[in-house]
């Protein structure tokens, strides 16, 4: 993670005007009309910025998870990479997992966080964010969003209602450009899902921000609120887990590699047998048999994916309680 990203997330609250600190106290009076136009704009911008931090707190956690997760995978491979690759081909070398495109998906959330890179000026990156937002809104239209709307989301929607949309399809979706230091886009969708519990049918479906790395290079962060069908599609793409185990979190860098964290009840032999059968059915090679070191179990599987490329998967299982286990699946695509 570059210094600019780290500095932004750590200082975001400090950059918001002090006059916005009362936003969470609904009993306080609104700003007096004696304020100037510029002060009122600063308050509005600050309110939305705070709403974003409040609603998208997962993104800040994700920045930390991305750093820890991929550093963990590199550390895990560091001491045994040469031995692993010797069983496949002595001239092979691993490709690093770090890659501009990364996706993070949690089991208990319908939100997906992505990181990507982009080249161009400020106008170009704003157009790119708008295009990605519109594509997501159009693909999500008329698809149920089963997650309950929270008070945080309701507050954010109320603030957005005070702004003029950058682009919209009447009564279907709206896209807003958020004033601030860096380009930022929010997309909302009319899900037509009014219920007895809530009359609010609009939902926040997309948020993105572009952080400059240099004059023409940007790091794009995106958070998508996925409809139920989208969650099912993502779930079908991921590998199966042993009975009684469920995914906690996955970090995906596309063609470069993937990390998946999971947990569940043992016994551990059921888990090891499951993975043996799973990769045997896929016709993968078992390049490292199950090893036990104290309460940690590990094995390695690999397969050819081309004349000069292959995929290596590490499975790590460790005991967390008497009959409860946690696991990590590390996949890396490599080439000669």
- When the pLDDT of each residue in the chain is averaged and rounded to a whole number, the result is 69
Helix-helix angle 57-78:3-11, to 10 degrees: 140
**pLDDT (mean) for 18-35:** 33
C-alpha Rg value of the chain to the nearest Å: 23
**pLDDT value at 189 more than 70:** yes
Q: Tell me, what's the pLDDT at 312?
A: 86
pLDDT of 138 > 60? The answer is yes
**Predicted confidence band of residue 157 (pLDDT cuts 50, 70, 90):** confident
Task: Check pLDDT > 60 for residue 193.
Answer: no
User: For residues 118 and 131, is the Cβ–Cβ distance under 8 A?
Assistant: no
End-to-end Cα, the chain, rounded Å: 28
pLDDT of residue 161: 86
185: its two tokens = 């886009």
Write out the two tokens for 241: 């887990």
* Stronger pLDDT, 100 or 320, i.e. the higher one: 320
Quick one: pLDDT at residue 260? 83
Q: What is the DSSP string of 57-82?
A: HHHHHHHHHHHHHHHHHHHHHHTTHH
Mean predicted confidence (pLDDT) in 61-72: 52
Pairwise CA distance, residues 308 & 267, whole Å = 38
**What is the rounded average pLDDT of the residues 82-89?**
35
Please, which residues have CB within 8 angstroms of residue 10's CB and are 6 or more apart in sequence? none
Please, are residues 331 and 303 in contact by the beta-carbon 8 Å criterion?
Answer: no
pLDDT attached to residue 58: 54
Q: pLDDT category, 248, cuts 50, 70, 90? A: confident
Report which of residues 255 and 70 the model is more confident about. Answer: 255
**What number is the average pLDDT over the span 15-41?**
34
Rounded Cα distance between 330 and 278, Å, is 15
Confidence of residue 160 (pLDDT cuts 50, 70, 90): confident
For residues 265 and 234, give the distance between their C-alpha atoms in angstroms, rounded to a whole number: 24
% of the chain exceeding 70 in pLDDT: 56
Residue 311 pLDDT class (50, 70, 90 cuts)? confident
Cis link prior to 107 (omega < 30° from 0)?
Answer: no
Each domain of the chain, given as residue ranges in start order, spans 235-335
């Amino acid at each position: 993670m570059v210094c600019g990203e780290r500095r932004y997330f750590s200082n975001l609250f400090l950059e918001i005007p002090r006059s916005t600190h009362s936003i969470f106290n609904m009993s306080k009076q609104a700003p007096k009309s004696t304020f100037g136009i510029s002060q009122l704009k600063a308050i509005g911008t600050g309110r939305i910025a705070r709403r974003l931090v409040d609603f998208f707190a997962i993104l800040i956690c994700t920045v930390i998870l991305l750093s820890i997760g991929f550093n963990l995978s590199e550390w895990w491979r560091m001491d045994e990479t040469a031995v692993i690759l010797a069983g496949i081909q002595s001239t092979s070398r691993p490709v690093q997992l770090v890659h501009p495109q990364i996706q993070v998906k949690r089991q208990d959330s319908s939100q997906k966080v992505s990181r990507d890179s982009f080249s161009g000026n400020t106008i170009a990156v704003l157009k790119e964010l708008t295009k990605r937002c519109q594509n997501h809104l159009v693909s999500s239209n008329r698809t149920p969003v089963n997650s309950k709307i929270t008070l945080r989301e309701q507050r954010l929607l109320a603030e957005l209602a005070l702004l003029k949309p950058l682009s919209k399809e009447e009564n279907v979706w709206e896209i807003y450009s958020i004033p601030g230091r860096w380009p930022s886009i929010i997309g909302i969708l009319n899900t037509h899902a009014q219920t007895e519990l809530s009359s609010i049918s609009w939902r926040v479906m997309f948020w993105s921000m572009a952080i400059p790395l240099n004059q023409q290079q940007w790091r794009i962060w995106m958070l998508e609120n996925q409809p139920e069908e989208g969650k099912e599609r993502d779930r079908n793409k991921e590998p199966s887990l042993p009975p009684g185990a469920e995914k906690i979190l996955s970090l995906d860098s596309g063609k470069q590699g993937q990390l998946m964290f999971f947990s569940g009840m043992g016994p551990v032999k059921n888990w090891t047998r499951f993975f043996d059968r799973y990769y045997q059915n896929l016709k993968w090679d078992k390049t490292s048999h199950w090893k036990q070191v104290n309460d940690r179990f590990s094995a390695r599987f690999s397969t050819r994916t081309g004349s000069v490329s292959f995929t290596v998967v590490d499975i790590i299982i460790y005991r967390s309680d008497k009959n409860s286990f946690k696991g990590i699946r590390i996949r890396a695509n490599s080439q000669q």
